[in-house]
Amino acid sequence: MKQGFSRRQFLKSAGMGGAVALLANAGLPLALAQERVLSQGLQSGLLQSTPEVELLVGDVIGFALESQEWEGAFGWVNFRLHQAWYNGENVYYIRTDASDADFAAENRLVHVPLLNAALAADGATSQLYTFENGADEQYPVVSHIPDQEDYSPAWHVHRVTFNSSPSVLDSAEAIREAEAAGDVTVEALQLVVNFPIVKWPGGELPVDTEKVTYLGTGPLVSPVDTDNMEVTFKLHQCYPGSRYIITDTSAVPMAPMMGISGSASTQRLADVGATDEIWVFGNGIPGSGVMGFQPAIFDNAAGSPIWSPFWHHFTAVWADESQARLLTSSTEIRELEASGELQIFKGVPDMDQSMPAFVVNCPVPIKARTTFQPA
């Protein structure tokens, strides 16, 4: 049974029918007016009407846990885009997580207390500037973009307040100059957010044109839609009961092969305890995981006080593949490692094991029961 909500199903359940329902098409962008109608329904919680599915991120416009439109064993999730500036050019990002409980609740993001530790690691965060009393046409400003050495989707939020009549500031340098001139006051907040950039000057996350395997040719189902301000990701399943996306990795040389952004700075998050652990499988039961075996296992469920979307990546390999069985918890992983039945590799098995495990950014917008069944 296919689980999840298409836009058409949601609009029908919300009683919005008629012309709006005729425009709803699962997996394809809605016109902006219809998106707003759907958003109003999301805010009232209607998209959470099934007890087996919990929507964690308020910027989710629609989703399906599985799809009959492609061969791959993954669904899709559609996010509302947000716009910012980098050196006067447009940048587009999604919002998933925040370190502060009140900010997370107000913006319907996942509360991740561990992200506060990022402020203790020099260079682990980039800077996101928001405006307290900016001009009407003012967008937030970011300090870095993907694939730059200092880019991190873990943003330290800074609040900019104009001391006189506001003017548009469209770069971090312009903000620093305005601060030096006394035109603005810049306050570094005790707030870290996970806002991965999906489109930036000279690049964007790629689309999976095949939609057969986990990685394919990219993490997106369709191109970033800046007209309707939305983006649709492939939605993967893992244990315990999480549906996640993948956006970037600290393993910059591997990023092009994975079809995601490089974010070298996120490696520093592991040094201060701002990450959690994930195990993928390098052999064993065939399945929908990144290496073609069973789904991955997260150490903790999204929303737990010790959960983080920034995953310290390990690979589990069965010593005797003929004894492989379905595993669903980190407790099983650790017990089998202790008994010698599983060997755990930092990162991937062919990586230099004297190096630390790399970090992958895997936000979880939806919690849902894992439906994987071994063949």
pLDDT for the residue numbered 147: 79
Q: What is the pTM of this model?
A: 0.86
Model confidence at 51, in pLDDT bands (50, 70, 90)? low
| CA geometry: angle 51, 231, 111, nearest 5 deg | 50
**One-letter-per-residue 3-state SS of 341-374:** CEEEEECCCCCCCCCCCCEEECCCCEEECCCCCC
**Both structure tokens of 230:** 């939305």
CA distances from 329 to 139, 199, 241, 313, 360 (A): 42, 35, 10, 15, 19
pLDDT for the residue numbered 50: 57
Residue 333 to residue 318: CA distance in whole angstroms: 11
State what percent of residues in the chain have pLDDT above 70. Answer: 86
Averaged confidence pLDDT in the chain: 88
pLDDT for the residue numbered 293: 97
Given a cut of 60, whether residue 107 has pLDDT beyond it is: yes
Condensed to tens digits (0 to 9), the pLDDT of residues 271-306 reads: 999 999 999 999 999 999 999 999 999 999 998 999
Condensed to tens digits (0 to 9), the pLDDT of residues 185-201 reads: 999 999 999 999 999 99
Given a cut of 60, whether residue 205 has pLDDT beyond it is: yes
pLDDT for the residue numbered 6: 38
Computed over its alpha carbons, how large is the radius of gyration of the chain?
A: 21
Given a cut of 80, whether residue 37 has pLDDT beyond it is: no
- CB under 8 Å to 282, separation ≥6 — which residues? 291, 293, 315, 316, 317, 345, 348, 349
Residue 245 to residue 258: CA distance in whole angstroms: 13
Tell me if residue 283 falls in helix, strand or coil. coil
62, HSE (Cβ side, Cα atoms, 13 Å): 24
- Is 12 exposed, middle or buried, given 0-12, 13-18 or 19+ CB atoms closer than 10 A? middle
